[in-house]
Each structure stands twice: as C-alpha cells, then as structure tokens.
Amino acid sequence: MPSRKTIKRRIASVTTTKQIVKAMNMVAATKLQKTKRQFAAARPLFKASVRIMDAVSNCELAGESVFFQQRPVKTTAYVVITGNRGYCGGYNSNVSALALAHMDEGRNEEILAIGTRGRDYFQRLEKNIRHCYAQLSEHTTYAEAQGVAEALLSLYVSGEVDEVYVAHTQFQSVLSHEPTLTRILPMGDGEDPKNKPDRLQYEPDAEAFLEVAVPAHISAFLYGAVLESGCCEQAARMVSMDGATKNATEIIENLTRVYNRTRQAHITQEITEIIASVNISK
C-alpha cells in the first residue's frame, strides 16, 4: 500500500488537473456562445446566397458558365476544417477521416487545411498539403474566408483542380455534431441545365453577375462552415472537459478513501503497539 505522503501528493496533483480542466470547460463555454452568435448573424447571408445560386443553377445560363460545367475529374481540392487544439474528443479526427475516406477512392488531392490539427493529420499520411490557414480557425473573419475562396476559384478556373470539396462539421446540439463533406465546385446537381427557361434578370448582365455572385457564394459558404465547425469544436471540448472534471472528482474521492484507510490502519497499528508495550511492562 502506498504511503500517506504519496497519496496526498497524488490527490494534490489530480486536484490541480481538475482545476485546469474546469477552467478549460468555462473558456470553451464562453467561446461557444460567442461563435454561436457569429454563426447566427452570418446564417441569413448564407441562406440568401444558397437560394440565389440554386435558382441560377436551374437556368440555361448555368450551362454556359465554367462554375457549373461538369468535366473529367483528375485532381480534387479538399478544404478540411479542423481546430488548432486538441482536448475536444473526436472532433478533429472524425472530419479528417471523412475527407481521407473520400480521397482513398482514387482521387489526386490538393489539401487546403483550415486548422493545424487537420494539417498534422494529413502530413503524417504524407498527403499533398497545398496550404494551411491556421489563423482562420482561431479568429474567423469574412475577409479571411474570402481569401481562401479566391485561392480555390483560382485553382478551379486555371484547371489545376477539377472539383472542390469542403470537409466540415454540422452543429446539431452541444452533444451532437456531424462531420460532412460538401462539393462546392462545380456548382449545381450535375444535371444539364440547358433548354431550361431562364426567368431571372441580371444587372448589368449575366456574365458580370456570375463573376461577382459565385465568389461571394463560395466565401459565404466557407465563412459559415468555419463558424459552424467552431461551434462544434467548442461544444466537443466542453463535453470532453466536463467528463474529465467528473473523472478527476471520482479519482480524488477514491484516493481520499484510500488515504483515510491508510491513516486508520496506521493509527490502529500505533494503538496496538502501545497496548502491547503496556502489557509487557506489567
């Protein structure tokens, strides 16, 4: 049985760890509320963008645009959204594994990692990582998302990649979030939009409209995806730290019981020795 000094040292160590994980839980809860407010504010922009692009994709105009045309796939770009830190359960590994499973279907990949955990994951697998946007995972701004969108559009228009997927995590509740893979380029459902009536009016003209609307839509999608994934990361960290706090409490209780039993055994031994010495003296 360990000594009382050793047990007290272990209790102090676990107590310190409990205080740290409890603080991390509180920080994650604060960040979750902040990110949820950002995501709620950005959602109307994203929904409006989706409605507009859905309407455009069902018109004849879409068949004439490079952004909607299907072409033979040689190289696929993946935007993988993870965090920069761990201690959030399976949040980082789940979305990375989803993207990896899609890559393993025989595609040549170009990976743009948002968050260092995704970059590290694919580096270990010796995958082709084109760029890592670590800052965007921590401090999400529309301008940063717009920069990633411009890089993706440049790769797509130049023909370096033939399609673009975003691996992100959808927030359902604090306890439930689902990794998802979404194709953002080419746009549309893959059906030929030709011979469909175009009932939309464009200002100043259709070509100029798409030159602005498509980059704006991709930027809005990435901005919303990063914010939503951030909500999932903080929620997962809250749950993980809450579980760690409960485990630490249980360990402290068990160690305290062991300490009390050891102390009681020591006292009993001392009393027995005193009684024995008294009997001998008689």
Residue 166 has pLDDT above 60, yes or no: yes
Residue 163 has pLDDT above 60, yes or no: yes
Residue 234 has pLDDT above 90, yes or no: yes
Give the pTM.
Answer: 0.85
Q: What is the pLDDT of residue 4?
A: 82
Greater confidence (82 vs 263) lies with 82
Q: What is the pLDDT of residue 130?
A: 93
Residue 278 has pLDDT above 70, yes or no: no
The CB density around residue 259, as the number of other CB atoms within 10 Å, is 17
Give the three-state DSSP class for 157: helix
Could you give the maximum distance between any two Cα atoms of the chain, in Å? Answer: 116
Q: What is the pLDDT of residue 112?
A: 96
Cα angle, residue 112 at apex, residues 106 and 115 outer, rounded to 5°: 125
Q: How far is CA 104 from the centre of its chain?
A: 21
> What strand order describes the sheet that includes 108-114?
129-132, 108-114, 75-81, 163-173, 176-185
Residues in Cβ contact with 148 at an 8 Å cutoff, skipping those fewer than 6 apart? 79, 112, 114, 133, 136, 222
Contact 110, 259 (CB under 8 A): no
